[in-house]
Structure formats: C-alpha cells, structure tokens
C-alpha cells in the first residue's frame, strides 16, 4: 500500500514538473530577463583567431557589458573547442551551467547543435553560418558573404598590378564558396582581364598551411590574396610580411576577413612602418550576436527562424581601415554597394572555375 502511495506521489510530482516545463517553454528560459545568461561554443579556430570566433566573442562581450552582466556562469562566457569532439561536450556544458542561450559558432557545429537541441528542448540555441530547420529552439544566423566579398573584389580588381589575384578558403564548402564567388565576381566586374586563383586549405586552424599556400601564389605573380580561412589565414599575413621585409618596394597585399585585420598586416622594415592589409571583408558576427542576444533576453527568441544579414542590414561590408585604398577606388566601392542594395547586381554564390 505504501509503495502505491509513494508511486502516486512521485507521478504527481513528475506531472507537475512536466506541466511547469511546458508552461515555461513558450518563452524558454529567456523569459526571465533579470537572470538571463548567454554563452558561445567556438569552432576549432579558437577565440583568438583574429577572425570569425573572435568577432563573435567581441560581440558577446559588448552585449554582456552593456547589460551589466558578469563574465562567467550566470552571465556571459565562451567554451573553447580544440577539436570537433569538443562540440557536444561544450554545448552540454553550457546547458548544464544554466546558460539561457547557447551559440554554435560556425557550420561545423551544426550536427552537434541539432543533437543537443533535440535533447534539450526547453533551452535556446543559435547556429551561426548554417540553417537548422524543424527545431523551434534553434535560431539560424546567416550572412550574405558574397555581397561583402564582391566589394573587396572590386578593391582587388582596381588595385592589382599583375592581374593575378589569389583566394584561399578554409574548406571547399557551400559557405566558403560564397566568399570565393562574390570576390571573383567583384574582381571581374571592374577588371575582366584579371585572373582569380581559388584554392582551399582544408582547415581553419592551420597557419603553416596558409603560409605555404600564400608563398606559392605570391611566387607565381599574385600580388593580392583574399583569405576566408580563419586562423589558417594568419599564415597568409605571415608570408606577405616576410616578403615585404625582403623587398619593401614590392606591392604585396592581403585582404582580411570577418573583422578588420589591418593590425594583422603591420610590419616594420628598416625602422619604417608598412601594412600589407589592403582591406578586409567585415562580417559582423559581433552585431548578429548582440542583436539575437538582446531579442532573446527580451523574450523574443526567433526559434525555428533564419535571420540573414547582408549589406542592406549592415551585416557585411569593407573594413573602416582604408589607408591603403585610393579615393577613386573607394568611390567605386560605394557605387557598387548602392547597386547591390538596390538589387541591380546579381552576385553568384558559386565560383565559375
């Protein structure tokens, strides 16, 4: 008899818990504004990759500071992934530590986000650079990388002296091909004679591979290389700076990605300061993180939706550092930017070679 009563009582407790969970699931944990907390899980490039992950973290830090949140559990933080095997572990760690919203930074985390979000239906997640459908506790953040890449392609096409230009991508994927295609189209729009050599490193965390690929491109006459390769791209800067030190008069450039990488190109030769960064295609992962975090904190988490940021939304563009770009080139960039916003330019998402 006692066993039956205990069983009944336990059933009632579990039922009550389920009911409360269901009632709270409409807004998720984000409904409690005073206790809102948010974390991001990095891709393998690392939080200090000078690019994608770092931009996301800078946005999260600004959001946290603007909302008087502390760094750490109960506020805002990040979980570093050193390999792909860390993705699910880190996502689970974020949930276990009570974070209301967890970002998966990069499309490589898509399978892990799908898996953990399916298991943790009362927790909110966001995937950056991919779209997850059919899961109402996941918001998808994407960008029109081809639009920003088109603009830096315009810069490259009007600046090159050799008409040989390189592109180094992290992986041969749909996402990175958007960078390559937009860049190639921008170059060709203003300089049909120029050739864009497109290669992929197969990794976002291999600076030595990026350097060796850049060395081969510069050796064959490329004078500008655009990288969309995360930490692998640091190697492109290293090679360009080494060559600049060997011959300061040589016109050799790197186009950065995701954030303004002007500082990454600084090099001193014979006590004179140079910078090999021509420009950067800024992809405002930081702004997207701030925007979605605020929406979620306000109880307006866009679960099951895709939010896309392009030129019109201020999600992509060229970096504010324009010291190495002529005024005439900048004027043409502004003209092309307006044409894209007005829908007058059809930018491909796959390169032609």
**Domain residue ranges of the chain, discontinuous segments joined by +:** 31-143+285-309, 145-283+322-341
Q: What is the pLDDT of residues 304-318, one digit of tens each?
A: 999 999 999 999 999
**Listed residue (143, 133, 141) closest to 101, CA to CA:** 141
Structure-token match 């306000």, residue found: 298
Please list the helix, strand and coil fractions of the chain in percent, rounded to the nearest 5, in that order. 45, 20, 35
Residue ranges of alpha helices (H) inside 172-315 are 174-190, 207-219, 234-246, 285-297
Please give the pLDDT value at position 150: 98
Is the predicted pLDDT of residue 252 greater than 50, yes or no?
yes
Q: What is d(CA 330, CA 86) in angstroms, rounded to the nearest whole number?
A: 43
pTM, full prediction:
0.84
**CATH code, residues 31-143+285-309:** 3.40.50.2300
* Torsions phi, psi for 166 (to 5 deg): -115, 155
Chain segment 88-133, per-residue pLDDT in tens? 999 999 999 999 999 999 999 999 999 999 999 999 999 999 999 9
Which residue intervals of 108-173 are DSSP H helices? Answer: 110-119, 145-159
* Cα angle for residues 78, 83, 87 (degrees, 5° grid): 55
Residue 228 burial class via C-beta count within 10 angstroms: exposed 0-12, middle 13-18, buried 19 and up: buried
Residue-level pLDDT at 19: 31
Which phi and psi (to 5°) does residue 77 adopt?
A: -165, 180
Q: How confident is the model at residue 297 (pLDDT cuts 50, 70, 90)?
A: very high
Nearest C-alpha neighbor of 276 from the set 242, 316, 327: 242
Tell me: pLDDT of 64 over 90.
Answer: yes
Q: Which residue has the higher pLDDT, 26 or 229?
A: 229
User: Residues near 151 by Cβ (< 8 Å), separated by ≥ 6?
Assistant: 186, 281, 311, 317, 318, 333, 336, 337, 340
One fold for 31-143+285-309 and 145-283+322-341: yes
What's the token pair of residue 33? 């504004």
For the stretch 145-196, pLDDT in tens is 999 999 999 999 999 999 999 999 999 999 999 999 999 999 999 999 999 9
Tell me, what's the pLDDT at 34?
61
> Domain 145-283+322-341: which topology?
Rossmann fold (3.40.50)
CB atoms within 10 A of CB 223: 21
- The arithmetic mean of pLDDT across residues 23-41, rounded, is 63
- Our CA dihedral for 121, 47, 106, 119, rounded to 10 degrees, sits at -20
Is residue 49 a contact partner of residue 231, using CB atoms and an 8 Å limit? yes
Of the pLDDT bands very low, low, confident and very high (cuts 50, 70, 90), residue 52 is confident
Q: Is 262:277 a contact under the CB 8 Å cutoff? A: yes
**Mean pLDDT score across all residues of the chain:** 91
pLDDT tens string 20-30: 333 333 344 44
């Amino acid at each position: 008899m006692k066993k039956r009563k205990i069983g009944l009582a336990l059933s009632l407790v579990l039922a009550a818990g389920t009911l409360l969970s269901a009632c709270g699931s409409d807004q998720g944990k984000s409904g409690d504004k005073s206790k809102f907390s948010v974390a991001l899980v990095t891709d393998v490039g690392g939080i200090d990759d000078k690019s994608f992950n770092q931009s996301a973290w800078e946005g999260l830090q600004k959001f946290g500071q603007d909302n008087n949140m502390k760094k750490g559990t109960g506020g805002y933080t990040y979980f570093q992934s050193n390999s792909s095997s860390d993705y699910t572990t880190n996502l689970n760690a974020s949930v276990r530590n009570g974070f209301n919203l967890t970002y998966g930074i990069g499309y490589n985390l898509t399978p892990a986000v799908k898996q953990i979000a399916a298991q943790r239906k009362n927790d909110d997640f966001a995937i950056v650079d991919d779209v997850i459908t059919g899961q109402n506790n996941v918001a998808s953040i994407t960008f029109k990388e081809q639009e920003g890449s088109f603009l830096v392609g315009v810069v490259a096409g009007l600046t090159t002296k050799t008409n040989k230009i390189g592109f180094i991508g992290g992986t041969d994927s749909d996402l990175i091909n958007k960078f390559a295609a937009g860049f190639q189209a921008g170059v060709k729009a203003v300089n049909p004679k120029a050739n864009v050599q497109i290669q992929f490193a197969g990794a976002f965390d291999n600076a030595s591979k990026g350097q060796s690929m850049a060395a081969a491109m510069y050796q064959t006459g490329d004078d500008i290389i655009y990288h969309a390769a995360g930490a692998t791209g640091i190697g492109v800067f290293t090679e360009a700076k080494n060559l600049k030190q060997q011959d300061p008069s040589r016109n050799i450039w790197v186009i950065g990605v995701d954030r303004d990488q002007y500082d990454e190109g600084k090099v001193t030769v014979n006590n004179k300061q140079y910078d090999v960064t021509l420009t950067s295609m800024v992809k405002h992962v930081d702004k997207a993180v701030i925007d979605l975090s605020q929406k979620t904190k306000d109880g307006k988490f866009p679960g099951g939706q895709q939010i896309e940021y392009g030129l019109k939304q201020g999600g992509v563009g060229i970096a504010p550092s324009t010291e190495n770009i002529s005024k005439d080139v900048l004027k043409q960039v502004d003209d092309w930017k307006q044409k894209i916003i007005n829908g007058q330019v059809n930018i491909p998402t796959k390169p032609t070679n």
